[in-house]
Amino acid sequence: MRGSSLFALFAGAIFIALSPIWVRVSEVGPTASAFWRVCLAVPLLWILFFSLKTKETKSLSTQWPLLLVAGVAFAGDLAFWHWAIQYTSVANSTLLANLASLFVTLAAWLLWRQRPSGLFLAGLGLALLGVALLVRASLAGSSGTSPTALLGDAFGVVTAMFYAWYLLSVKGLRERGAGTLGLMAATTTITAVILLPVALASGEALLPASAAGWLKLLGLAWISHAAGQGLIAYALALLPAGFASVGLLLQPVMAAVFAWMLLGEPLVAWQIAGGAVVLAGIYLARKASSQ
């Protein structure tokens, strides 16, 4: 196991864990921050794509229908997650968004009749129990930063569904020869085009009011989105799938730690118990999927 790939995996997970912090302190609304997250990352990704002289252009040019599907899925993922971050706790929104791997396997079961193993079903049961505990914390009014914390939890689950759709679309594109960097650049561009009219129609503040506000959006776009996703994509190509999937569980843990340190958002007993059970369920489900 190469040290650089292991470092890239953990660094990418930590960078992405910072994204809900950027969203929470942003000077623009949730949908607007989702738009700027991808819009500001687009030039950087295309510069990297062309400067590295990859050979992905031909495969991308023939895959626009599936790229569009992936862009729609990613737009839904970001929009609902950013709303979840605003409505419920960072810990809840991030943990619930990580249920995506469960929905991927469920989709394969329903659409392609790929029957899941008993270990996956055990992981699914644990994850659902953990979700119930997280919802219990929201109902108690102690996990969220607004009275609509339960709605935020629901948005977190919807986020996982959209992200599962995105992952399945990306899997199809990779099987057709699309490379990682080209995929990131193309889907990020499409996502930005989709989110702009949504942000304008939302009535949210679209432009930050200060230079610091722009720096927060740049951090979201360049550190969490471009660098975080890029480092993870690099690591996944070199590390065993089972280990990498477990290593990525660092992301929701670090998001909760950052929220506690930077936002003063404490974890209550129901959240700690629910988070531990959700992570255990995701771990079992990913282990079953990698066998």
* pLDDT tens, per residue, the chain with 291 residues: 567 888 888 898 899 999 999 999 999 999 999 999 999 999 999 988 888 765 555 566 677 888 999 999 999 999 999 999 999 888 888 888 888 877 877 777 777 666 777 777 787 777 778 777 777 766 665 444 456 888 888 999 999 999 889 888 887 887 777 777 888 889 999 999 999 999 999 989 899 999 999 999 999 999 999 998 888 877 776 766 556 666 677 888 888 889 889 988 887 777 788 778 877 877 777 676 555
Tokens of 149: 């914390």
What pLDDT is attached to residue 26? Answer: 94
DSSP label at residue 207: S
What pLDDT is attached to residue 288? Answer: 65
Rounded-to-integer distance, Cα 121 and Cα 101, Å:
13
Contacts of 1 (CB under 8 A, 6+ apart): 239, 240, 243
Distances (CA, A) of 101 to 13, 31, 37, 62: 16, 24, 23, 28
User: What is the longest distance spanned by two Cα atoms in the chain?
Assistant: 54
Sheet strands (E) in the chain: none
* 8 Å CB contact between 5 and 247: no
Q: Which of 99, 120, 96 lies closest to 109, judged by CA? A: 120
What pLDDT is attached to residue 145? Answer: 45
* 8 Å CB contact between 250 and 10: yes
Rounded-to-integer distance, Cα 251 and Cα 11, Å:
10
